[in-house]
Amino acid sequence: MHAWEAIQTSVDHIEEHLSEPIQTEALAQLAGLSQFYFQRLFKRLVKKPLQEYIKLRRLARAAEALRTEKKRILDIALDYGFASHGNFTRAFKDTYGITPEEYRKKQPLLNTCIKPEISMGYVLIDEGIPLIAGNIVLEIRRERLNTPEMYLGLTTDVSIAAQTPVGESTGIDIPGQLWTRYHDTKKLIEDYIVPDIELGMSYSADMEKGTFSYFAGGLAAALPQNLNRDFVRQELPAGEYIVCSIEAESFKELVTTALDQAGKYLFGTWLPKHKLTTQPFSAEKYIFSQEDTNRMEIWAAPITE
């Protein structure tokens, strides 16, 4: 068994037992390693210390329960290994910047710790060859966009450190909140957009401020002379692209786990292994024209010498 396979086995075990006590010794035995080497290898491959990872995964599952279940907050806290309401509240607020009570009332979108698919860091696929990892399927291809595409939508600034997969902090999901605002107001521009193609774009990083700009919108069918309220235009330029196509079992999984894992694979494994660097922006294209298919694409523009 490869070292990464041993850690993947322990990660899978943790996921299945988040509502139970989890002992480091038992996980190390499962991986066939001493506790010392297990914890070092776990931190290296998962990018988080063992106990922090377990806490963050429990908080992620607890947040989902707060949103979907009617249990008391104390009962949810106890379900996921927190000794008291106060202990759970402190951990939740330290992680997400909001109390469980506030989250249940307002239900903002959150950046949570996502279970990693470690194998993706050790598999290099050829262009046009699908990769199946966990519950997602991804495929990478090159594509030339002959004419630019114009989109209409909204934009906001996002903290680099607080947005996965670029940063690793948890908290309010600012791009997700922008998508919610766009979908709540897009009826104001519905005469000018294609209903089944949407684009999210990260661009214009400001390293001094530690932020980047994020756009969320729909493909323009026509361009109005004047845009309503805060709507702006954003162009996907013509040119050569590396396109990572992703499919998942549900739309929620597509825009959370699948997007996170595919982004890390594309930018952290595939592009570096092919000695490719990209221009300082990336785009997420959502395609809704195919029924019963939860599909999106990550577009990145390689830098050519």
End-to-end Cα, the chain, rounded Å: 41
Strand-pairing partners, residue 203, are 213
Q: Mean pLDDT, to the nearest integer, of 255-268?
A: 92
| Residue 110 pLDDT > 70 | yes
Beta strand residue intervals within the chain, DSSP E:
110-111, 131-133, 136-145, 149-159, 171-172, 193-206, 211-220, 232-236, 239-248, 278-287, 294-302
Give the three-class secondary structure for 26. helix
Cα–Cα dist 32/129, whole Å: 33
Tens digits of residue pLDDT in 190-207:
999 998 999 999 998 888
Q: Which amino acid is at 280?
A: P
**What's the distance, CA 97 to chain centroid?**
19
| Residue 170 pLDDT > 80 | no
| Residue 302 pLDDT > 90 | yes
Q: Confidence class of residue 162 from pLDDT cuts 50, 70 and 90?
A: low
Contacts made by residues 18-24, CB under 8 angstroms, sequence distance 24+: 18/54, 18/57, 18/58, 18/61, 18/80, 18/81, 19/79, 19/80, 19/81, 20/81, 21/81, 22/54, 24/50, 24/51
Cα–Cα dist 213/38, whole Å: 39
Q: Confidence class of residue 297 from pLDDT cuts 50, 70 and 90?
A: very high
| Residue 272 pLDDT > 90 | yes
- Contact between 199 and 248 (Cβ < 8 Å): no
| Residue 168 pLDDT > 80 | no
Q: Which amino acid is at 252?
A: K
Tens digits of residue pLDDT in 218-231:
999 998 888 877 89
| Residue 165 pLDDT > 70 | no
Residues 6+ apart with CB under 8 A from 125: 131, 139, 140, 270
Return the minimum-mean-pLDDT range out of 21-25, 50-54, 129-133, 295-299.
Answer: 129-133
Task: Specify burial of residue 277 (Cβ count, 10 A radius: 0-12, 13-18, 19+).
Answer: exposed
Give the three-class secondary structure for 10. helix
- Contact between 221 and 152 (Cβ < 8 Å): no
Residue 139's φ and ψ, nearest 5 degrees, are -150, 140
Is pLDDT larger for residue 290 or for residue 224? 224
Q: Mean pLDDT, to the nearest integer, of 14-18?
A: 95
Which residue from 175, 143, 166 is spatially nearest to 245, judged by alpha carbons? 143
Residues 6+ apart with CB under 8 A from 263: 164, 165, 282, 298
Give the three-class secondary structure for 200. strand
